[in-house]
């Protein structure tokens, strides 16, 4: 697949009416647009922060959290104000979990967050370094009122951020997040007197509950018998904390790269083909059966096959869906910018397929509404509600190893069996005030397409599609096209650019 301009228990369904309401206001909770030219894949470019939120003095803020440059747009003082606003939305009497992804600035922010929350009378649980999906599991298993994960996902080392979790162990939904944002803007904090401040609670074991839930989704003995040779690149993020334990439990002969979670990234954090060039060679040299590559907070997973070929992130949800639907058919959800491979697989196994707006929160809403067995995003994020309603690289690793063991096939063969498409991603200059007219012009020009305005404008034809969405940080729109060939996908993006140039 070509990429041009690369860049636990099941929870109760909220009901169709709630999902439709969320669909109508998806812009309130698509999670974090990426900064500048960085990929939108972790937080999703559907967020619509106010224009003043994009000033130099503030981080990029959405209703689900924030991210910024340490010492510039993200300071300890700002972090304290933000988590104190979060505290005001939470039920009293239960602690808040604090975790971080291993970045060098994470401990400093964790201490600030803990001080702020304790200062308003909230007890905190310190689980130290943990992956984002592990945070979701811990919030539930420890009975916390909520959680704060300190991470900037795939962004460079100078960035960090805060991601907020509800008591359900998922990223906070729109209504809750909007309350946090309003209270943060109001800036009112009620500090507790000396005899009512909160205290810190230690978490001695942060990974066992998550590991057990992941192992329960696969045939552990079947995988152990194969004694797979696995290379895991955690790139000095949080992934190795559970990654090492999980691979040991599955009987794998593991080679770990960047297993010290200190934030000293050996390559640019986003797990794209360009950034993983050195890792591709290591997979070949170590004669591994498969290579797994995580982003710093370990919610995304890219795959390298036994020949050193970059299979990528779009294939992660598709490989997992193909394996799960063979034995446990049920509804599947992906967002509207994810490859249609998963949609084709749903048709193959005769199960319902649903599409959401971009952003993890949107995928989770749709999963809950439709009781989906799996959900995912094309950035390598797979969500299994049996484990946690958070994108989870460890679920992806376990399911893919289980697929290889069940079918006795190499990962290269499993990937080559999937439907083949090419994705092209481009940027098109367009002033913000021209976006409504531009989308209308595209709809008119591509009159033969099926249209969907769930998130920007998506145009569908048999076997191909085009998505055009506004950027929050630049006067551009992002165009993503998928078709059987790269030339066809490029043609769709070029046609869109020509139409928008005339607006």
Catalytic residues: 153
Residue 201: strand pairing partners? 125
Cα distances (Å, whole numbers) of residue 273 to 125, 166, 267:
37, 34, 11
List Cβ neighbours of 498 (8 Å cut-off, separation of 6 or more): none
What strands lie across the sheet with 332-335, from one edge to the other?
A: 353-356, 332-335, 374-377, 381-383
Local structure of 288: helix, strand or coil? coil
With beta carbons less than 8 A apart as the criterion, state whether 375 and 396 touch: no
C-beta separation of 391 from 132 below 8 A: yes
DSSP 384: B
Q: Say if CB 266 and CB 236 are below 8 A apart.
A: yes
CA of residue 102 relative to chain centroid, distance = 17
The rounded distance, in Å, linking the Cα atoms of 440 and 463 is 23
- Helix, strand, or coil (residue 291): strand
3-class secondary-structure state, position 367: helix
Rg of the Cα trace of the chain? 22
Question: Which residues neighbour 390 within 8 Å (Cβ) at sequence distance 6 or greater?
Answer: 132, 133, 135, 136, 169, 170, 171, 299, 360, 383
Token digits for 300?
Answer: 């995304």
Distance (Å, rounded) from C-alpha 2 to C-alpha 274? Answer: 12
125 contacts 131 by C-beta, under 8 angstroms = no
């Amino acid at each position: 697949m070509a990429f041009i301009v690369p860049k636990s228990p099941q929870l109760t369904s909220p009901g169709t009416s709630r999902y439709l309401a969320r669909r109508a206001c998806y812009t309130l909770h698509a999670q974090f647009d990426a900064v500048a030219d960085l990929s939108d894949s972790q937080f999703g470019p559907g967020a619509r922060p106010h224009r003043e939120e994009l000033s130099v003095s503030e981080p990029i803020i959405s209703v689900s959290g924030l991210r910024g440059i340490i010492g510039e747009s993200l300071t300890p003082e700002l972090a304290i104000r933000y988590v104190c606003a979060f505290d005001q939305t939470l039920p009293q009497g239960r602690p808040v979990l604090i975790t971080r992804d291993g970045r060098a600035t994470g401990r400093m922010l964790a201490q600030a967050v803990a001080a702020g929350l304790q200062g308003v009378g909230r007890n905190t649980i310190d689980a130290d370094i943990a992956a984002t999906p592990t945070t979701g599991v811990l919030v539930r298993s420890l009975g916390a009122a909520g959680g704060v994960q300190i991470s900037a996902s795939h962004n460079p080392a100078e960035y960090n951020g805060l991601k907020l979790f509800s008591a359900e162990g998922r990223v906070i939904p729109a209504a809750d997040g909007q309350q946090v944002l309003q209270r943060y803007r109001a800036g009112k904090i009620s500090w507790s007197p000396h005899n009512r401040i909160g205290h810190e609670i230690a978490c001695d074991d942060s990974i066992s509950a998550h590991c057990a839930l992941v192992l329960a989704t696969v045939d552990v003995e079947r995988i152990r018998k194969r004694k797979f040779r696995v290379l895991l690149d955690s790139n000095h993020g949080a992934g190795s904390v559970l990654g090492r334990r999980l691979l040991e439990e599955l009987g794998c002969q593991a080679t770990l790269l960047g297993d010290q979670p200190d934030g000293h990234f050996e390559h640019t954090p986003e797990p794209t083909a360009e950034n993983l060039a050195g890792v591709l060679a290591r997979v070949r040299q170590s004669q591994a059966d498969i290579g797994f590559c995580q982003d710093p907070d370990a919610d995304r997973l890219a795959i390298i096959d036994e020949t050193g070929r970059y299979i990528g992130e779009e294939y992660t949800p598709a490989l997992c869906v193909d394996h799960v639907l063979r034995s446990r058919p049920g509804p599947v959800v992906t967002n509207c910018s994810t490859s249609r491979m998963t949609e084709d697989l749903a048709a193959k196994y005769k199960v319902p397929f649903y599409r959401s707006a971009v952003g993890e929160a949107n995928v989770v809403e749709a999963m809950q509404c439709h009781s989906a067995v799996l959900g995912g995003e094309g950035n390598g994020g797979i969500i299994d509600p049996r484990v946690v309603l958070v994108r989870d690289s460890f679920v992806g690793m376990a399911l893919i190893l289980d697929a290889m063991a069940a079918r006795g096939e190499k990962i290269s063969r499993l990937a080559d069996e999937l439907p083949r498409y090419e994705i092209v991603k481009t940027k098109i200059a367009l002033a913000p005030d021209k976006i409504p007219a531009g989308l209308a012009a595209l709809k008119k020009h591509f009159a033969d397409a099926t249209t969907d305005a769930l998130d920007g404008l998506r145009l569908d034809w048999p076997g191909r599609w085009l998505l055009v969405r506004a950027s929050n940080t630049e006067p551009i729109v992002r165009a993503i096209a998928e078709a059987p060939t790269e030339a066809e996908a490029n043609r769709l993006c070029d046609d869109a650019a020509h139409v928008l140039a005339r607006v």
